[in-house]
Structure 1
Amino acid sequence: MNARTADAPAANPTSAPAGTLLHELSSSPIAESLRRELLKRWPSTPDRVREISRYALLAPGKTLRPLLLVASADAVGGSYDGVLPAAMAVEYLHVATLIHDDVIDDDELRRGQRSVHAHYGMADAIVTGDFLILTMFTSLAECVERGVPAAAVLEAVRVLAEAGADVCRGQTKEAELTSDPSSPIADYETVISLKTGALFRGVCRAGAILGGAGPDHTEAVTRFAEHLGLAFQMYDDLLPYLWEPGTTGKPNTSDAGNLRPTFPVLLGYESAGRGDRERFTEALSGRIPAAEAYERLRELLESTGALHRARARAETEAALAREQLAGLPSSEGVGLLAAVAELSINRDR
């Protein structure tokens, strides 16, 4: 990979402190080069929508999805320079979904700073999200100018557009589960395979396509991303119960306040007795304050062992993700993908 000047993480990293893994990824030459590219493309400007975009894009973060796209391209033998505009494009799409998510949930914090709508207002936040989605396509088109075959770029556009559409479908399906801790876990898995998994899948598949992968390697990278998406969101649902808000970058009461039955809640309800099931239901009824609902859910998740079971399932999905990487040609790109899979279940974001 042209931009890397240091060895990639091992292809099968052993469990390590989250801060160590995060540091390895965020301080790697490729991650630093992606951040420099964002800074170069988004200078300070009086143009309001671009300035708001800059605020959202340059917030503290790991540029994880751009890293996944570049690593997927490298894992199949592609070049960093050719796919760099696409890496920028997927960050635009991802940040746009975060902006719109925060509007829907009315969350005031994102990545440790005020959310876009809290800082700039609802109307400008919605417009900025739309602007970033449209900018994604202009950035993808740059790949042709860098030598990527036009057919591959067109296919990557299709893959990412479908991923964005799936994110929207996942959002509406998630709304159907609101307030119902008795929802089947299979329904939840469908939601996260769309809302979270679709973007992981689209990013990695697009990276492989732009990197010139054949069908077998493209499918291997896609399967990796599908398991990664499940692991990432299942663990993400645990974060409010494992870390303080200053660590997670958003309010711990967000899911409870939005009456959202997340993965550990569904697992806890499934194994609970009648009395505890009633307490789960009341916590997501909207009849009690969000802070009280959160504390009740936290107590129930601990007493039912749901936190442990949810974490174990996330670890299984991460292991399955790593298994899909066997046989890919580039150990450097594979090492980065494997490190992301490990970070997905071992992080303090």
Structure 2
Amino acid sequence: MTVTGFTRFPPFIDDLARSESGRLLHAEFERRWPETTDQLVGIARYALLPAGKLLRPMMTLHAAEAVGGSPSRVLPAALGMEYLHVATLVHDDIIDADTLRRGRPAVPVAFGIPSAIVVGDHLIFTAFQSIVESGVTAPPGHVAAAVAALAEAGRDLCRGQMLETQLVGDLDAGARWYPEMIRLKTGALFRAVCHVGALLGGADPQLAAGLARYGEHLGIAFQIRDDLLSYVATPEQTGKPATSDLNNGRPTLPLLLAYDAATDTARVELMAVLHRRGAGPGDVEWVAALLDEVDAVQAARRQMAEHAEQALAELTALTPSASADVLTGIAHWMTSETA
């Protein structure tokens, strides 16, 4: 089965954005980040709004509610999860020299690299402040645990970014280290958004840890899904150039699986494409043909589904509720054919 029909905002995510939680998040973003002459706030607003899927803050709210907490009380921390996520995107666009983000000029292009660095840092510090703001009604010790969870995720994310940099252009090393790299680079933040929500919602350590594992597996699945989007979606759907991964020599899972299954001749050519950063005539088309020939997209999709299933297994400890259903739905959406 070929992966087709990827859209940037599939029906499930559309419905989630229109839900009470989604409306609450959008309204609060607008309230907290108004149009202003303050340059720092103005650039941060550009980076944050219009908002994307808001998947991470949505997961924070529903993780809190799924353990018996109040989503409205966790709202500042949920916003903080998006601040941290967007900060990583701003810094990623500097590292990767990407010019397009969410269908418009990336922050470094629109405002310059120095301002982009400062705004990314500002959003990171604001994320931690947001957890403290949400912790007023949290059980004793839970705020400190939530801050520690976010700090750990931030450190992991940095390690994942450095590891990815080390793997650029090296498919042999990529095959060995890719699982650890995406666990750190993407799984860690998904782990944190659920862990923070559960802790501030009042969950006991065991239940909070289970939701953290749910988030990590879901984050890994999400990164594989993002890897796939480069090959099955248009720039209009993804909001970034289709050639971004090739231009940066990044060993994404479809490329690694294709490399593993390809002939020796094709392996040599694939390495050459990565080393010249996909700049040669017909490189993108040749890579797409190779992925199709060895069924690499479907193989990557199977790995994505395995992590989604492991995520779902962690939700069995929850009491049935509407929020538990949302967390389940996110895992199913992640691997749906139209996702």
What TM-score range do you get, normalising by the shorter chain? over 0.9
In structure 2, what is the Cα distance between the partners aligned to 1:108 and 1:348? 27
Paired position in structure 2 for 1:164: 154
Gap change, CA 1:288 and 1:260, over 3 Å in 2: closer
Does residue 123 in structure 1 map to residue 114 in structure 2? yes
Give the 3-state SS of the residue equivalent to 2:171 in structure 1.
coil
Paired position in structure 2 for 1:309: 299
The within-5 A match list for 1:34-113 is 34-113=25-104
Q: 1:184 offset after TM fit, Å?
A: 4.8
8 Å contact 2:246–2:277 — kept in the other structure? no
8 Å contact 1:68–1:204 — kept in the other structure? yes
Task: State the TM-score, normalizing by the size of structure 2.
Answer: 0.94
The within-5 A match list for 1:247-286 is 247-286=237-276
Paired position in structure 1 for 2:186: 196
8 Å contact 1:322–1:341 — kept in the other structure? yes
Q: Deviations over 1:143-168 (max 9, x none)?
A: 233x1235211110111011111111
8 Å contact 2:174–2:251 — kept in the other structure? no
Amino acid at match of 1:326: T
8 Å contact 2:246–2:278 — kept in the other structure? no
Runs of at least 5 residues in structure 2 that lack an aligned partner in the other structure? 1-5
Amino acid at match of 2:82: E
In structure 2, what is the Cα distance between the partners aligned to 1:137 and 1:296? 45
Give the 3-state SS of the residue equivalent to 2:269 in structure 1.
helix
- Stretch moving more, 196-205 or 52-61: 52-61
Q: 1:288 offset after TM fit, Å?
A: 5.3
Greater RCO between the two (CA within 8 Å, min separation 6)? 1
Q: 1:210 offset after TM fit, Å?
A: 0.9
Compute the RMSD of aligned alpha carbons. 1.8
In structure 2, what is the Cα distance between the partners aligned to 1:54 and 1:61? 13
Paired position in structure 2 for 1:142: 133
**Structure with more helix by fraction:** 2
Counterpart of 2:20 (choices 29, 48, 64) is 29
Q: Deviations over 1:189-239 (max 9, x none)?
A: 100000000000011111111111113311221121121011111111000
Q: Deviations over 1:271-294 (max 9, x none)?
A: 111111112111101165167432
8 Å contact 2:247–2:278 — kept in the other structure? no
In structure 2, what is the Cα distance between the partners aligned to 1:144 and 1:183? 42
8 Å contact 1:284–1:293 — kept in the other structure? no
Amino acid at match of 1:341: A
Does residue 175 in structure 1 map to residue 162 in structure 2? no
Paired position in structure 1 for 2:289: 299
Amino acid at match of 1:122: I
8 Å contact 1:96–1:133 — kept in the other structure? yes
Paired position in structure 1 for 2:219: 229
Q: Deviations over 1:22-70 (max 9, x none)?
A: 2221211111111111111011111101000011111341111100111
After the TM superposition, which parts of structure 1 deviate over 4 Å for at least 4 consecutive aligned residues? Answer: none
In structure 2, what is the Cα distance between the partners aligned to 1:159 and 1:204? 10
Count matched residues: 333
Q: 1:329 offset after TM fit, Å?
A: 2.0
- Stretch moving more, 305-314 or 213-222: 213-222
In structure 1, what is the Cα distance between the partners aligned to 2:313 and 2:191? 16
- Stretch moving more, 223-232 or 135-144: 135-144
The within-5 A match list for 1:183-222 is 183-222=173-212
Give the 3-state SS of the residue equivalent to 1:99 in structure 2.
helix
Paired position in structure 2 for 1:3: none
